[in-house]
Amino acid sequence: MSLNCIIAMGDRLLGKEEVTSSENQESDHSQNTASWQEQLLPLVVTLRDCVREAELKARVAMTFVMMQAAAAMTVSEGTTNIVQRRHAAFSQALSALVCGFVLRLFSALQDQDFLQQLISAGLLVQFEALLSTYGEEVGMLEDMEVCVSDLSRVTFTIIDAKSEEPEDLLPTLRGEWVSLVVEVPLPPETFRSLPQEVRDGCLIRVHPVLFNIGINQQQSLAERFGDSSLQERVNQQSCERLRVYCNTLRDTLPVTAGVQSLSDLLSSLERCVETKKRKNVEVLWIAAAGVLGGDSGLFPPSDPGSQACLAPKPPRRHLYPVAFLLVSSHLLVLWLIFSLVLMLNKYQ
């Protein structure tokens, strides 16, 4: 529009000059030139400002386009890194799961109740951690939460080994990421002693749980100045999964005093998880006792003395007062002065 204005003004001035020249051939050419400059100068300045504004908008637009392309590339690379990170964490958790299952299976080949429990309710697996929810350990806990959850997609099946050679007794994987099946071979003679459902290739489901209680100084910072909601969510979800598994176990086993004791223990665990208590390691103690009853069938007996052996209570005495004094040098000085005064009064 500014350029059109300049063109129109030029045409008008040119026509005016032709008229003036035909009427007065003796007019001063320098005066006409000065009149042209005075009338065109504001329009040229406006055109210059418009060009500068258009240039600025073009640069901003190109910068935005380049940032969009860079962001898309960053998201693509970040997604790839997250997937690799998830697979790396899952592979380690899967290795621990397979090793634990094989050891547990070989130790209970003659335990028909345990084998029947695997068929009807599946395998209960518990992971414990002492990671804080402050600093770098937050990422570690997040990785652990995801990979433990991914283990619920894994199933086990027991197969007849080709021979008793060590290489023929190694577990193998089949299937895809969303539904991995771990084949555990057993020697032919041992395989024949298993229940019929197992020999028919039934799939043993996995019920993983994770309980975490941060106990270091980083967790103290998280509880005072940060956020511990990640730990609360992990423990709450695992508590719910443990309750679901034990309900399934209760439906498949006869109602006994042991089953009732397990239900009471789970109720204690739920209350303990909901309690807003710093560094509440009692969660780990009760969860371990619950898993001991739910996975092995070793329910806490009715004898209080025996139950204390299965689920020992954490020590009640702590050194928190001393640790609190060490937090501030001023408090420590006051404590020393107070102790000195008491000692002098004692010997007077």
Check residue 331 and give its pLDDT.
46
Answer whether 125's CB lies under 8 Å from 100's CB. Answer: yes
- Please give the radius of gyration of the chain, using alpha carbons only, rounded to the nearest integer: 39
Asked whether the predicted pLDDT for residue 220 surpasses 80, the reply is yes
Every domain of the chain and the residues it spans: 1-17+35-89, 108-317, 318-348
CA proximity to 114, closest of 298, 291, 263, 247:
298
C-alpha 9/C-alpha 4 separation (Å) is 8
Across the range 270-286, mean pLDDT stands at 86
Task: Pick the range with the lowest mean pLDDT from 55-59, 134-138, 224-228, 291-295.
Answer: 291-295
Lowest mean pLDDT among 129-133, 264-268, 305-309: 305-309
pTM higher than 0.85, yes or no? no
Q: What is the pLDDT of the chain when averaged over all its residues?
A: 79
Which residue is it, tokens 């994770």? Answer: 210
Tell me if residue 37 falls in helix, strand or coil: helix
